[in-house]
Structure 1
Amino acid sequence: MQERKERPDESIGLRKLVLYRDVVLTEAGETPAQPAWRASVAAVIRNPWLGTGPSAGLSAEQGHIAPVLAKLLTDRLIAALGGVDEIESFGKAAIVGTAGEIEHAGALIHTPYFGNLVREFLQGESIICFADTRAEAGETLIVPLWHKTHAATRSHYQTISARVPDAPRADEIVVIAAASTGPRPHPRIGDRMSDPVVTTQSLEAVPS
């Protein structure tokens, strides 16, 4: 008899995946020079640490669950945005349900088991900016993004709203990866690498 292999969704307690995608076609009455698609993919999983207490270790589940999530989410981001070469900025986030600890949200996104793999799959180099919180089902989380290889590129500082109407339940965690194919519409506030030096001494007047 052939041994039955466990599917990824069974292995990590995955309940659902939610994909959101948008593009701004006009801004301030004009078409952006580079209309950018933005997307987020959210995975809803059961909380593997529920009821374990604040002294319990988290590493075993991190090493098992986070790499699977990194691959599931980035595969769908790449497909939604037209290929990895099209993706210019990225971000990550997590929402833990009300019965869990805020540390449970961070445990799945603030480790190399997730962050390093998301960066590798999306061919990035920058540290991935993030958001995390504890909330009831349906909470909207604003996920920050910045350039995947040049974090100082201010044109790519942007956000995307992520929401799963029925998650997280009290015993669940929502893990999110997000990306964009370009900058904000009509970016024109300069770049951190070319900014002038600004201090209180260099300004003529600083409001008190």
Structure 2
Amino acid sequence: MELEIRKVVTICEETFIEGFKKSAKPVRIAAALAVIKNPYAGKYVEDLLPLIKTYSEKLGEILPQKAIAALGISGQEVEAYGKGALVGLDGEIEHGSAIIHTLTFGNPFRSQCDQAETLLPSAEKRGAAGSSLDLAIKHKMDPKIRSHHMTFEVRIPDAPRNDEIVIAAVVTSSGRAHPRIGSLHKELEGVFPS
């Protein structure tokens, strides 16, 4: 199987005002999305290993690298991240899941984010060209830090075609603008936000 990427799209957003209040620093989020050929579109294939071997490691390196570069920061400065797959109408959600739910995708991603430790949160679905995908984001070292729980909506007007998959990596250099609900650590200790 041959690696076939039609295009890579990078989306970067900076939010300066949230909830009618200026943020202490802009909330910056970037996602890199690869539009790839789905060789299994329109048919059932039992063994997905060739798909994994062709795409997982390569995209686990390329996409976080492009997202981090779009923010203009180092991997050390990434605070939170996530991943996703949007499968075209003739594919199975399992095809996208096979690519992103592997150590060959996740380990290069975490490595670029200064040896991050948490599992990458994910979003997977099937949709037509132009469908949106809400990428889940969590803190790279501690999933109980709620200030970094957020989503980032992405879409590509002409992708995925029926025989394509969009694979996404998202990173951010901070949490939400004005977090006020406290961490899960405190709630587990019986301390609730006032």
Q: Structure 1 length as normaliser, TM-score? A: 0.85
Q: Map of 1:188-207 to 2, 5 A cutoff? A: 188-195=180-187
CA distance in 2, matches of 1:57, 1:86: 38
In structure 2, what is the equivalent of residue 163 of structure 1? 155
In structure 2, what is the equivalent of residue 152 of structure 1? 144
Offset of 1:34 from its aligned partner?
3.1
Residue 58, structure 1, aligned to residue 58, structure 2: no
In structure 1, what is the equivalent of residue 69 of structure 2? 79
In structure 2, what is the equivalent of residue 93 of structure 1? 84
The one-letter code of the counterpart of 2:108 is L
CA distance in 1, matches of 2:99, 2:140: 20
CA distance in 2, matches of 1:127, 1:163: 23
CA distance in 2, matches of 1:197, 1:73: 38
Aligned-pair identity in percent equals 37
In structure 2, what is the equivalent of residue 107 of structure 1? 98
SS in 2 for 1:114: helix
In structure 2, what is the equivalent of residue 205 of structure 1? none
Offset of 1:197 from its aligned partner?
6.1
CA distance in 2, matches of 1:17, 1:163: 12
In structure 2, what is the equivalent of residue 31 of structure 1? 22
Offset of 1:117 from its aligned partner?
2.0
The one-letter code of the counterpart of 2:152 is I
Unaligned runs of 5+ in 1: 1-9, 199-208
Q: Structure 2 length as normaliser, TM-score? A: 0.91
Residue 69, structure 1, aligned to residue 59, structure 2: yes
The one-letter code of the counterpart of 1:187 is P
CA distance in 2, matches of 1:109, 1:183: 23
Offset of 1:63 from its aligned partner?
1.8
Offset of 1:138 from its aligned partner?
0.3
In structure 2, what is the equivalent of residue 4 of structure 1? none
Q: Map of 1:9-20 to 2, 5 A cutoff? A: 11-20=2-11
CA distance in 2, matches of 1:192, 1:145: 16
CA distance in 1, matches of 2:172, 2:39: 30
Larger radius of gyration between Structure 1 and Structure 2:
1
SS in 2 for 1:60: helix
In structure 1, what is the equivalent of residue 124 of structure 2? 132
CA distance in 2, matches of 1:78, 1:142: 19
- State how many pairs are aligned: 188
Query: In the TM superposition, what whole-angstrom CA distance separates every residue of 1:122-176 from its partner, at most 9, and x where no partner exists?
Result: 2211011000001100001111101001111000011101101100000000000
Q: Which has the higher strand share?
A: 2
Check the 8 A contact 2:30/2:68 in 1, yes or no. no
Check the 8 A contact 2:91/2:163 in 1, yes or no. yes
The one-letter code of the counterpart of 1:139 is S
SS in 1 for 2:16: coil
Residue 172, structure 1, aligned to residue 155, structure 2: no
Unaligned runs of 5+ in 2: none
